[in-house]
Structure 1
Amino acid sequence: VFTANKDYYNGIPKIETLKFVMVPDESARINLLKTGEVQAIKIGQKIASTLGNEAGINVISSPSANWYAINLPYKLPQFKDKAVHQAIALAINKQGILDSIFAGQGEVAYGPYRSEDFVYNPDIAFAQDIETAKSILADAGWKAGADGILEKDGNKLEFDLLYIASNPERKDIAIAVSSDLEKIGIYANPVSKANWDELTPQVFHDNAVVLAFGSPFDPDDNNYQLWSSNHLNDGWWNPAGYSNPEVDKLLDQGRTTWDTNERKKIYQQIQKILADDQPVAFINFSNYLYALSNKVTGVIPRNGPHGQGNEGGINGDIWWNVENWDLSG
């Protein structure tokens, strides 16, 4: 429970008392909103269009920096071949996943920056291309075995694709990606991990995993830790075990200059290299969805960070200016 600070420098907040109630079940949250017991809730993407037609309810779709991808760790022998990374990225139907799993709420990801970010590189975008993916693998020497799975030098293109059970979106992504990869001779077996005690940082580094990261703040934030070789074997950071001297050099340059145009060039070059190396296969950014009583005014959505999700997070995105909210009627 939060009480308005009457000495707040920017004026006394219009809402005197603010109470956050933790309700994990989405249906229960929606019922609380409909009965007027709460005035703002988080919702999933698939319920947004239906709830938006309800009288007295407004639905807000807020962009987020939260991106989903498939981790392709270089520790696994299959992923030591750059061709495999490139083929997997080409085989995934990013738009299909965005439309079917996230109800179109977000945008396709080709790298770690949204199209609205000032450093975004539009030249790295590409469409799903099954035939080119097959050709890349064939040119790299991968051939179908008796079971149809590609193999080379004693290594088969089959692996477990892990996801956290508490996140239905990651489960659906794992299933969709598995189906896409089967079309190019790769077998990815979706495997559920019950919780983060099972999906430890070490497991993260040693397996293909449906992962999510993203920061809407400075372009250096998260990205230095994710792609710099200085963060190899560093907890959750750099899960692919990625090491590229040119990227290391550019990351250091990006965090040591204040020139906006120069930084834009630096981070666009980083995106170009990542798009070629594909240490992770980027899939999509997801918007965060909220349903509010139409009595609530003053809400201004903004790009939120990873970690908000459908169930948690009271920092970032729409809550950031709650001192300016008001209730009418």
Structure 2
Amino acid sequence: MIRRVPAVLVACALALAACSTSPTTSGAAASSAGTFVVATAGEPDTLNPVLNYGVDGASLIFDGLVARDAGNALVPGLAAALPTVSPDGKTVTATLRDGVTFHDGTPLTSADVVFTYQAILDPKVDSVIRSDLDMLASVTAPDPKTVVFTLRYAYAPFLQRLALGIVPAAALRGKDVNQADFNRKPIGTGPYRVESWTPGDRLVLTANNTYFGGKPANAKVVVAFVADDNVRAQRMRAGEFDAAELAPKLAAGFDSVGGYQVHKVDTADYRGVMLPMGNPVTGDLAIRKALNSAVDRTAMIGGVLGGAGEPAYGPVPPTSEFAEPTAAGRPGSDAAAATAALDAGGWAAGGDGIRAKGAQRASFTLMYPATDSLRKELALAVTADAKKVGIEIKPEGLTWDAIDTRISKDALLMGFGTPYDPDFTSYKLFSSQFAGQGYFNPGHYKSPVVDEALQDGRDLADPAARKAAYSTFQKQLATDLPWLFLAYLEHTYVVKDAVAGVQPRVEAHEHDVANSIWWNIHTWTRK
């Protein structure tokens, strides 16, 4: 899921939510021994893994053939052991666990695994993750317990793709997967089954007491969808939630409040400004160079993030084995370098302090989702730094629906990132073949060098060759600057002291229902 939050809720709905006394999300329910209530800004568009729900695992409703432990290392999931890979890297074989059933009691078989992956490859299915499986030639089931994946080429991180949740073939075979009721009322094998989903409000999950991983320690989980950061913080303070995702400054407000713990979770989640190549200002390399020099990333980390993050210069996190250190820049601002870039690019100083090239003023709009307070503050910080060197930025908070219509021409404060493999997000985000496909490369960035490096990164099996390819990719990106990378975040959560069993792990950009600090909520208890 690319969007960080859904469309903005109307003010009256937010007010009602803030004053809710429903038995599901009230403070009394949150303190119930058998129920945990958690709150997040983001809401899925679907609950079907085929259509991009919880594809990296920890979805609470589904399981993949593999899972990840607290250190993000791969461990067996629905597979009895980690799948085996042939010497040439082109055949991957998985053997299923015994006795696993779906929530409706039907047994899991290899046919369900085959159906899941074939559905993604089916061109009639609107799956945005189809390109993730470009390497997959076929998936077959020689017997009810065995699944064989045949690859077109050796793809080093393929086992990580097997964290995708498996759906029951019987529930979807012969149906239009794009419109199926299953997408809102799914059947999985995970620790929780879906009781109800009220769009814009909550997802209610009940324990799967026959879960192969053991009966969940709690009977129910309620995921409250609260798009507005401030409203979510108010409701957390009112005692409605056991845990909530909050912006760093809002989370810091709980540091001195008894009964709560603030968790700063390491991530590979970056924020940056996507700069459209077709815009007459952001499409000019001199402007992009000037912005890259002018922004004070160190000040942003301290002021906007409250210290919960580190400077970002590219889409591969510094903690990754694929990170290219020479592509990193200086954390502070360099006004002299910014001014030199603008002078060299023909952007002359104007009487009003804003530079211009001929009749074109150095001015552009920077969009951000209106309910995301962190992105708003980052947008304002970028605006202030840019003005110091003669670039006018007009920040504009919008709904995602409004942003959708303008992402090819106006800059956007975006977020992406994965701690797993650099192919997972960078391929779609920077390859020219995805230019203009929604939130994949919305700025229409095109570079033959980047295209070749990204393709090599997914085609080559040799670790050294892959590292070289991603080094080339990062260096070229640092030259072209299609994004103004700002910061890698620490995700901040507030959790009640009474909650036991919380195990933070390095997180990706996506962390709403799946892959949040509550990835192991089925093991949580109360002290």
TM-score by length of 2: 0.57
Q: From the superposition, tell whether residues 81 and 256 of structure 1 become closer, same or farther in structure 2 (CA, over 3 Å).
A: same
The CA deviation string for residues 67-119 of structure 1, in whole angstroms up to 9 with x for no partner, is: 21112111112234322211111101112122211111122111012222221
Matched residue, 2:303: 100
Residue in 2 aligned with 1:177?
382
Q: Structure 1 residues 259, 173: closer, same or farther in 2, change over 3 A?
A: same
Alpha-carbon distance between aligned partners in 1 of 2:438 and 2:245, rounded to the nearest angstrom:
29
Distance 1:50 1:233 in 2: 40
Distance 1:27 1:183 in 2: 34
1:162 Cα offset (Å) = 2.0
Instruction: Identify the structure with bigger relative contact order (alpha carbons < 8 Å, sequence gap 6+).
Output: 1
Structure 1 residue 138 and structure 2 residue 337: aligned? no
- Greater Cα shift, 258-267 or 168-177: 258-267
Q: Contact between 1:98 and 1:105, CA under 8 Å: does it hold in 2?
A: yes
Map 1:306-317 to 2 at 5 A: 306-308=509-511, 313-317=512-516
- What is the CA distance between 1:23 and its match in structure 2? 4.7
1:267 aligned residue: 470
Pick the structure with more helix per residue.
1
CA deviation digits over 1:20-75, x for unaligned, max 9? Answer: 34455224332343xxx542222221133341333332221112332211121111
Query: How many residues in Structure 1 have an aligned counterpart in Structure 2?
Result: 319
**Alpha carbons 2:236, 2:243 under 8 Å: kept:** no
Q: What code does the residue aligned with 1:226 have?
A: L
Check whether the contact 2:247–2:373 (CA below 8 A) recurs between aligned residues: no
- Distance across 2 between alignment mates of 1:67 and 1:120: 14
Matches within 5 A, 1:46-195: 46-127=249-330, 128-193=333-398, 195=399
Q: Does 1:279 align with 2:482?
A: yes
Bigger mean CA deviation after superposition, 262-271 or 1-10: 1-10
Sort the Cα spacing of 1:165 and 1:48 in 2 relative to 1 into closer, same or farther, 3 A: closer
1:318 equivalenced with 2:517 (yes/no): yes
What is the aligned-residue RMSD (CA, Å)? 2.0
CA distance change for structure 1 residues 58 and 191 in 2, over 3 Å: closer, same or farther? closer
Distance in 1 separating the partners of 2:283 and 2:350: 20
Q: Is the contact between residue 98 and residue 106 of structure 1 (CA under 8 Å) also seen in structure 2?
A: yes
**4+ residue stretches of structure 1 with deviation over 4 A?**
none
Q: Matched residue of 1:240: which SS?
A: coil
CA contact (8 A) 1:62 1:317 kept: no
Percent identical pairs in the alignment equals: 32
**Deviations, residues 176-216 of structure 1 (Å, cap 9, x unaligned):** 111111111111122232x112111x401111222222233
Change (3 A) 1:2 1:174: closer
| Alpha-carbon distance in 2 for matches of 1:71, 1:44 | 21
Are the aligned partners of 2:293 and 2:337 in contact in 1 as well (CA < 8 Å)?
yes
Aligned CA distance change for structure 1 residues 19 and 166 (closer, same or farther; 3 Å): closer
CA contact (8 A) 1:110 1:275 kept: yes
Give 1:281 deviation, angstroms.
0.4
1:198 aligned residue: 402
The answer on whether the counterparts of 1:250 and 1:267 sit within 8 Å (CA) in structure 2 is yes
Provide the rounded CA distance (Å) in 2 between the counterparts of 1:174 and 1:64. 21
Does residue 26 of structure 1 match 2:214?
A: no
Q: Residues 260 and 168 (structure 1 numbering): CA distance in 2 closer, same or farther, change over 3 Å? A: same
Structure 2: 5+ residue stretches without partners? 1-203
C-alpha separation in 2, matches of 1:28 and 1:144: 46
Once residues 340 and 226 of structure 2 are traced to their aligned partners in structure 1, the CA distance between those partners, rounded to angstroms, is 49
Larger Rg belongs to: 2
CA distance in structure 2 between the aligned counterparts of 1:298 and 1:265, rounded to whole angstroms: 40
Instruction: State TM-score, norm by structure 1.
Output: 0.89
